[in-house]
Structure 1
Amino acid sequence: MRPLLFLDVDGPLIPFGGTSPHPAYAPEPPPDAHPLLHRVDPAHGPRLAALGCALVWATTWGQEANEVLAPRLGLPPLPVVDWPDEDDDPVAAGLHWKTRALAARAEGRPYVWLDDEITDADRAWARAHHPAPALLHRVDPATGLTAADYATVSSWVGACRVAEYGTRAG
């Protein structure tokens, strides 16, 4: 079974902050659109698809990610994580509010989570509470996803295949 890849938008796909200018891959969006949408690199779509994971939006963009981002990336509509009501699921100290919801959504499957707000507390929680391998990978929001991030995920997915099938060709 392919690992899930939970994908945040702001930071990983839309870089922000930092001191150097960000490249623009499209004209500036209209005033009613996200002001940084032109920073979405369409090359991320094929690179994400090539990782061999089942892609899932893990963003507060919700279905809007399918309407606005998936076409820019050349991706089909993806499943979207429905976030729990914050009042129903209090966050433990130091734990990101998405951490437990993503592990629950994974339902025991291996998963990757790409986000710019992941901390060691989230990684420790996943190691202690999720029965399958999980890669919680922090993406620098100043650069967004880089070749190094893709290499890390690709290596992890390959290691999962070896663990599951005993070979990289599985």
Structure 2
Amino acid sequence: MSPAPLQPSDRVPGPSREPGRPLLLLDVDVDVDVDGPLNPFGGMPDTRPAGFTEHFLMPPTWAALEELRIAAAARPREPAPLLVWVNPDHGRQLMALPFDLVWATTWEAEANDYIAPLIGLPDLPFISWQRPRPVTRGGGCWKTPEVVAWAAGRPFAWVDDEITDTDQDEVARTHPARAMLHRVDARSGLTEDDFAALSAWAAAIA
């Protein structure tokens, strides 16, 4: 079932911001699919990784998409909620990393209301996308130029299941600070190996 949006008094306290810490940009998109770092959609419908719990959500963005699909369908039907698998331990593990966390997802502010409470994250800053999705960019992820612009020269790591070599090359050309583009398997979501890689990278640039 869908969680009710949290009230301010119910939210997890946010981490203190530390000057010079790198950003960690987190993906969990909603559209015709849901991306894999925090929700391993690649394993759906029946290969849920250990530790993940199942939820059916109806955030406003998804509800609007459902209305469009229903209007275009030959037969009326009830709106279908969005199936999401999340690991409730991930919030604690992410908060323990030496990063400032940021949503890099088409959920935008809805990630704070619908995903954060399921995994124990506070309200986080989010990238407000300026261009529509999808955009064909010669094999690169549509988010990459806006991720670079939003980071504004600050070191960052970015976890996403759509990262390609094209994106690695583009960030290397256009971003003046250190960056780690870490592709996560959409069948498994974030794993202990992913958390270890993020920790090692942050330690290496400290």
Shorter-chain TM-score tier? 0.7 to 0.9
Deviations 1:41-100 (A, max 9, x none): 01000111111111110011111100011111111100110111249xx76422211111
1:34 to 76, 82, 91: 82
Q: Determine which structure has more spread, i.e. the larger CA radius of gyration.
A: 2
Unaligned runs of 5+ in 2: 1-19, 29-34, 58-78
Percent of aligned pairs with the same amino acid: 48
Match of 1:72 in 2: 118
Alignment-mate amino acid for residue 12 of structure 1: P
Does 2:53 correspond to 1:7? Answer: no
Deviation (angstroms), 1:128? 1.2
Structure 1: 5+ residue stretches without partners = 162-170
Q: 1:2 to 1:33 in 2, by over 3 A?
A: farther
Q: Distance in 2 between matches of 1:52 and 1:32?
A: 38
AA matched with 1:64: E
Q: CA RMSD in A?
A: 2.1
Change (3 A) 1:25 1:148: closer
Q: What is the CA–CA distance in structure 1 between the aligned matches of 2:197 and 2:80, rounded to whole Å?
A: 36
How many residues were matched structurally?
A: 157
How has the CA–CA distance of structure 1 residues 68 and 32 changed in structure 2, closer, same or farther, with 3 Å as cutoff? farther
Alpha carbons of structure 1 residues 27 and 131: separation in structure 2 relative to 1, 3 Å? closer
Q: Does 1:21 align with 2:69?
A: no
Q: Does 1:145 pair with 2:190?
A: yes
Looking at structure 2, the residues matched to 80 and 33 of structure 1 have their Cα atoms a distance apart, in angstroms, of 23
Letter matched to residue 104 of structure 2: A
Mapped contact 2:37–2:159 kept (Cα < 8 A): yes
TM-score by length of structure 1 reads 0.84
What is the 5 A alignment of 1:20-99?
Answer: 21-23=47-49, 25-26=52-53, 28-29=55-56, 33-35=81-83, 37=84, 39-86=85-132, 92-99=137-144
Corresponding residue for residue 72 of structure 2: none
Q: 1:29 to 1:93 in 2, by over 3 A?
A: closer
CA change 1:27–1:113 in 2 (3 A) is closer
SS of alignment partner, residue 17 of structure 1: helix
3-state DSSP class of the match of 1:101?
helix
Partners in 2 of 1:107 and 1:126 — Cα distance?
Answer: 12
1:157 aligns with 2:202: yes
Q: Which amino acid aligns with 2:101?
A: L
1:18 Cα deviation from its structure 2 partner: 4.0
